């Protein structure tokens, strides 16, 4: 059996990955792989296919961006929490976005870097499902927070006199609860949709992290329900958010260009400009990755898909604090005040 397996692995381009995966399977027979439930063996994340020889070098920018995301968002959250003047809906939503960004990048980057540096590619099946759930849950939550921020700007510009009466602390709490509840309701069924499938192959995932369709394609069962559920979940969450954000900004721009004061118009556009930059950073890489994966086919190399998938969970979290810190005067002043207070404590 050992010799037969080695010959098989020599013919398969992913031979090394298959050998690692076989090490976690019970040593019965070659036919056991096709008839037993291979979930007990866990999954093997190969990293970025075709660029395995560059994993160590790729880890340098990924690690740098991850550390920058942790530091930048940590400082941003600290500034907002420590400065009473920033305890307003706009900045509270921003702290929610920063928290979701940190958790989203943390759900992927540590395992990816462990794979790149240590070759730690194995993950249990339940661990893979857990990672998949949190990645998608946090992505949907991120999208909902961006929608809430668009609503905040809509109310601030289109109904400024009613701003404080509409976005009360109670409403803010309800928005936060709705964000988490919606994300949970949308993503929780995917765990059961994946658990109901039968897995009889060697579970090699050509990716750096676990995602819904990547796990489903390991199955020997019909995955039509998973495909349609994934599409419906994406359209009813992220797709709907994009439409509502676009509608909000159409109304915002109409209101802005009706302002008689050039100074007021410039200030409104500057405030909204930061949010638009964050929206574009979040959605463009994610949507490009999704459409390239589904419709790119053989025209776009597999490693391009994987690189994009990794970039959209680390680049927006890294750049969001920079965008808001540079473009928002109140946050910049709050950061100076926070560091000044810290310096005084140590003197």
The pLDDT tens digits for 152-184 are 988 988 888 888 899 999 999 999 999 999 999
| Domain 38-346 fold | Rhopdopsin 7-helix transmembrane proteins (1.20.1070)
For 84-239, strand residue ranges (E) read 122-123, 204-205
Q: What is the pLDDT at residue 1?
A: 39
CB 104 within 8 A of CB 138: yes
CA distance 218 to 103: 27
Q: What is the pLDDT at residue 37?
A: 65
Pairing status of strand 204-205 against strand 43-45: parallel
CB 95 within 8 A of CB 153: no
CA distance 133 to 191: 7
Q: What is the pLDDT at residue 13?
A: 43
CA distance 58 to 60: 5
CA distance 108 to 66: 10
**Mean pLDDT of all residues belonging to the chain:** 82
CA distance 256 to 305: 38
Packing angle, helices 89-106 and 125-158, rounded to 10: 160
CB 105 within 8 A of CB 69: yes
Q: What is the pLDDT at residue 27?
A: 46
Q: Tokens at residue 271, please? A: 């405030």
Which residue ranges in the chain fall short of pLDDT 70? 1-38, 289-298, 347
Q: What is the pLDDT at residue 53?
A: 87
Q: What is the pLDDT at residue 142?
A: 93
CA distance 281 to 118: 31
Place of tokens 């949709």: 193
What is the model's pTM?
0.84
Q: What is the Cα gyration radius of the chain?
A: 23
Q: What is the pLDDT at residue 31?
A: 45
CB 100 within 8 A of CB 142: yes
Place of tokens 């994987």: 306
């Amino acid at each position: 059996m050992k010799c037969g397996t080695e010959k098989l692995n020599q013919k398969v381009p992913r031979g090394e990955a298959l050998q690692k995966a076989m090490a976690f399977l019970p040593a019965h027979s070659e036919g056991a792989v096709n008839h037993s439930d291979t979930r007990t063996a866990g999954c093997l994340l190969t990293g970025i296919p075709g660029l395995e020889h560059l994993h160590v070098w790729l880890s340098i920018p990924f690690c740098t961006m991850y550390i920058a995301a942790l530091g930048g968002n940590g400082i941003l959250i600290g500034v907002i929490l420590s400065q009473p003047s920033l305890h307003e809906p706009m900045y509270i939503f921003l702290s929610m976005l920063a928290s979701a960004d940190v958790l989203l990048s943390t759900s992927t980057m540590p395992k990816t870097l462990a794979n790149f540096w240590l070759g730690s590619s194995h993950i249990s099946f339940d661990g893979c499902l857990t990672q998949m759930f949190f990645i998608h849950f946090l992505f949907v939550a991120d999208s909902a927070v961006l929608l809430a921020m668009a609503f905040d700007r809509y109310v601030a510009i289109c109904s400024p006199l009613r701003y404080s009466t509409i976005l009360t602390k109670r409403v803010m709490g309800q928005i936060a609860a709705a964000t988490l509840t919606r994300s949970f309701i949308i993503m929780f069924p995917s765990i059961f949709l994946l658990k109901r499938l039968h897995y009889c192959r060697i579970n090699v995932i050509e990716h750096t992290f676990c995602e819904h369709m990547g796990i489903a394609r390991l199955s020997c069962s019909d995955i039509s329900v998973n495909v349609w559920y994934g599409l419906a979940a994406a359209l009813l969450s992220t797709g709907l958010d994009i439409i509502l954000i676009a509608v909000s900004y159409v109304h915002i721009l109409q209101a802005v260009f009706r302002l008689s004061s050039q100074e007021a118009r410039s200030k409104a556009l500057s405030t909204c400009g930061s949010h638009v930059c964050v929206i574009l950073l979040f959605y463009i890489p994610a949507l490009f990755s999704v459409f390239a994966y589904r419709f790119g086919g053989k025209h776009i190399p597999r490693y391009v898909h994987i690189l994009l998938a990794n970039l959209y969970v680390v680049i927006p979290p890294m750049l969001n604090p920079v965008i808001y810190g540079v473009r928002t005067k109140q946050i910049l002043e709050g950061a100076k005040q926070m560091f000044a207070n810290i310096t005084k404590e140590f003197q």
